[in-house]
Amino acid sequence: MQNKACVRAHTNIALIKYWGKRDETYFLPMNSSLSLTLDKLYTDTMVSFEEDLAGDVFYLNDELQGEKETQKISAFLDLFRKEKKTTAFARVESHNHVPTAAGLASSASAFAALAGAANRALQLHLDPQTLSTFARRGSGSATRSIYGGFVEWDMGTTSDDSFAIEVDDASWDIGMVIVAVNKKAKEVSSREGMKRTVETSPFYPAWTQAAKKDIVSIKEAIAKKDFIRLGEITEANGMKMHGTMLGAEPPFSYWEPDSIRAINIVKQLRKEGIPCYVTMDAGPNVKVLCRLSQAETIKTALLSCFSADKLIITGPGAGIRELTATE
């Protein structure tokens, strides 16, 4: 039996954010979300289940990882072992392909790649939707990285129907310029940030209501290939999410001075007639949604404030795929 597989998964950026869990064990979200999978940022993960291993072994970018990191991987692989009714431990080798200095290591591509590789290695033959429910248990955003293009993660009603589906392959003139503001470890993890916001922010109920409307509107914009509307909804939704954090107790924010500098450049570009819109996640990096054909112009404007190694242009990415031995 072949018990080894290597899978590539691309990261994704949410245009309608997932922010808040209704179930912490199963990673069930408070609201549905929608993202764009990105071509340039991805993770390649090899998983090999071996009967003679005494425990799981995890290498990230060729470095053997410690107990804490390995424990997280083991708990995730347990879901697959249970499904296969096996107790075999695994050797996991992951490589994050993120341009240097970006500091954008992503749990989305990491858990989607690991889920895909474990599925193949154990020959579970899980269909993509079911696989996305497994990826979800590693990290919410990983649910969406199973697919390419625009992807919706439906909040669902149970663990079994809270999965992602592809909405549109994004094969139109769409791209992102990522402004890697800094790569310091964040002070408030997304997990902790969500929890604090759900529990203490009086703005939180307004967020879930708004997100519900935004997801309907953004799908209409995608169906019409209306880029301006898509951008407007994206920018407004991200701002609403960050607003909830200012209402939390104690309040927190992921923004840094450079985030605001990037946002101001984008606003100026818009005044000059270039449609481009910002979104930010649980960190200070700014992602600029744009026409891929205008990404170079946007990058040139951002170069007035940021060095070239902090600016990454990317188009839409594909869903997960198994890599051949030579890749």
**What is the distance between the alpha carbons of residues 286 and 213, in angstroms, rounded to a whole number?**
24
For residue 10, state whether it binds ligand PMV (rule: CB under 6 A). Answer: no
Nearer to ligand PMV, 18 or 134 (CB): 18
Nearer to ligand PMV, 71 or 307 (CB): 71
Residue type, 67: E
Is residue 9 a contact partner of residue 116, using CB atoms and an 8 Å limit? yes
Closest CA to 3 of 89, 72, 109, 93: 89
**What is the distance between the alpha carbons of residues 93 and 23, in angstroms, rounded to a whole number?**
30
**What is the distance between the alpha carbons of residues 18 and 205, in angstroms, rounded to a whole number?**
14
In the complex, the smallest distance separating the C-beta of residue 183 from ligand PMV, rounded to whole angstroms, is: 16
For residue 119, state whether it binds ligand PMV (rule: CB under 6 A). Answer: no
The window from 67-75, 89-97, 139-147, 260-268 that contacts ligand PMV (CB under 6 A) reads 139-147
For residue 138, state whether it binds ligand PMV (rule: CB under 6 A). Answer: no
Which is it for strands 63-64 and 57-60: parallel, antiparallel or unpaired?
antiparallel
Nearer to ligand PMV, 282 or 320 (CB): 282
For residue 65, state whether it binds ligand PMV (rule: CB under 6 A). Answer: no
For residue 282, state whether it binds ligand PMV (rule: CB under 6 A). Answer: yes
Closest CA to 46 of 11, 12, 99, 6: 6
In the complex, the smallest distance separating the C-beta of residue 107 from ligand PMV, rounded to whole angstroms, is: 5
Site string for ligand PMV, 170-199 (x = CB under 6 A): --------------------xx--------
**What is the distance between the alpha carbons of residues 190 and 106, in angstroms, rounded to a whole number?**
12
- # chain residues binding ligand PMV, by CB under 6 A: 14
Residue type, 305: C
For residue 214, state whether it binds ligand PMV (rule: CB under 6 A). Answer: no
**What is the distance between the alpha carbons of residues 244 and 223, in angstroms, rounded to a whole number?**
29
How many separate helices (H) and strands (E) can be counted in the chain? 8, 14
The window from 93-101, 134-142, 172-180, 212-220 that contacts ligand PMV (CB under 6 A) reads 134-142
**What is the distance between the alpha carbons of residues 247 and 10, in angstroms, rounded to a whole number?**
33
In the complex, the smallest distance separating the C-beta of residue 162 from ligand PMV, rounded to whole angstroms, is: 13
For residue 14, state whether it binds ligand PMV (rule: CB under 6 A). Answer: yes
Residue of 6, 9, 11, 17 interacting with ligand PMV (CB under 6 A): 17
How remote is the C-alpha of 253 from its chain's centroid? 19
For residue 139, state whether it binds ligand PMV (rule: CB under 6 A). Answer: yes
Where along the sequence are the contacts to ligand PMV (CB under 6 A)?
14, 17-19, 33, 107-108, 139-141, 190-191, 281-282
